[in-house]
Amino acid sequence: MKLNQFIAHAGICARRKAVLLIKAQKVLVNGQPILNPAYEVAPIDRVSYRGQLLTVNEKVYILLNKPRNTLTTLYDPQQRRTVRDLLGRAIKSHIYPVGRLDRNTTGLLLLTNDGLLAHRLAHPSYEIPKVYSVQLARPLQKQAQKQIKKSVSLVDGPAKVDKLSPLDQAGYQWRIQLHSGKNRIIRRIFAALGYKIVQLDRIQYAHLTKKNLALGAWRKLTTCECALFKPLLEKGAQCASHSDA
């Protein structure tokens, strides 16, 4: 296994960031810095990062239904509630969230130590569908509906959605699907058109749904759910950083 892959599979970060760590001489192999990300790690090699010996652990995949007032991070210096607090001590592996949900956005969040899967799920070029339920403070007018379906101009470029459909007859609740990785993208789309979001809930991520998963609860993915990610992992590698709605 190449060194940058080893670091990703050890749950430290995605492979692209692992390359940067290697070139910054922050990764040691047998006590010495190796500057080549393609270095083939042998079974007898000892790979370390920040003094910690790395191992390729058993992959862990956790699906969590995030409640409000919960940070998508593993640690908060202000001691606010984080997604790690919801897991308690049941999960001892070093896992991290795939993408982000802001503090007051609820819904599906995947946590894993599988760096390669995390990278590909979060990057928009893989077009992983994310579906949200949006509740607005006032009905969404037809002109705004057309604009969202076409494209909304934001400071960092046009924002496009894949699907927009009503969840009620009054126009307050909407189902929106997209694969963009831009930060707070849904909130910014509606804000740009003068609409305030009362509640934002992610109800589907890839093939994963919230069925039988209460707010604040979590579970491990089933074998069948994990198997459905196999085609994604077999695709050619692409690179990027990521953030979410």
Distance CA 70, CA 140 (A): 28
Q: Report the run of H or E that residue 68 belongs to, with start and end.
A: none
Please tell me whether residue 119 adopts helix, strand or coil conformation.
Answer: helix
Annotated active-site residue in 85, 102, 162, 168: 102
DSSP characters over 154-221: ETTEEE--SEEEESSSSSSEEEEEE----TTHHHHHHHHTT--EEEEEEEEETTEE-TT--TT-EEEP
102 among known catalytic residues: yes
Count of all residues that appear for the chain in the document: 245
Reference 96, options 20, 203, 11; nearest CA is 11
Determine the distance from the C-alpha atom of residue 13 to the mean position of all C-alpha atoms in its chain, rounded to a whole number: 12
Reference 107, options 140, 138, 66; nearest CA is 66
Kindly give the pairing relationship between strand 157-159 and strand 152-154. Answer: antiparallel
Active site positions, annotated? 102
